[in-house]
Amino acid sequence: MSRSHSKHSLAHWCLLGLPLLLLAGCPAADGTAPKTPVLGLTLKEDHPSGTAIVPTNNDVLVEQVLRLINERRTRIGLNELTLNPVLTRVAEDYCVEMIEKGFFAHENPYTGEGPGERAYKADYVFVQVGENLAAGQETAEQVVSEWMASPEHREIILGIHWREIGIGVRLGGEYNVYWVLEFGNPP
């Protein structure tokens, strides 16, 4: 998968075993007005590219992403998603992996692991898992807006089977801000 600034996505479904629903987000589009910026954001030159940093307002960003996603889900009669600590750890760890290893993809090119393998290794029990990735967006509002503007990403966010979510945000790497959503459908 290219690390250029072009739009790209990948979607797969599998049930049982190692189920996956994958979508890659894209670096931020210009022109989106920031609302609540990621704090701790620095110029790429101000930190080593292979170092992942926790935003100083990480809890606020996670809460905002969850609220924005649940608002969109409840508008159309879907259940709200619950923040799951295991899925959140998987999402945060994957942000760090992408930053520290210098890639942006659903499958780690060094380990070959995808979201299903990562969830399984974290002892998350599931029927299905799904993942949205994004990079470069500087606010929770911007990243959720861009995911919702993409049919493939919106389809995952509005999936009727999801009950839980994990949200990761980290600073560093080529795109400066990395966002990972891990969706879960436990048995």
Q: Are strands 22-23 and 128-135 parallel, antiparallel or unpaired?
A: parallel
pLDDT of residue 38: 65
- Residue 29 CA, chain-centre distance (Å), reads 17
pLDDT of residue 35: 61
Range 149-161 average pLDDT: 97
Q: 70-118, pLDDT tens digit by residue?
A: 999 999 999 999 999 999 999 999 999 999 999 999 999 999 999 999 9
pLDDT of residue 50: 77
| The one-letter amino acid at 161 | H
* DSSP percent split of the chain into helix, strand, coil, nearest 5: 35, 20, 45
Does position 180 have pLDDT exceeding 50, yes or no? yes
Tell me the H-state helices in the chain.
58-75, 85-101, 115-121, 140-149, 151-157
Contact residues for 109 (Cβ-Cβ < 8 A; gap 6+): 101, 103
pLDDT of residue 18: 34
Does position 168 have pLDDT exceeding 50, yes or no? yes
Q: 1-59, pLDDT tens digit by residue?
A: 322 222 223 332 222 233 333 344 444 444 444 466 666 555 455 555 678 999 999 99
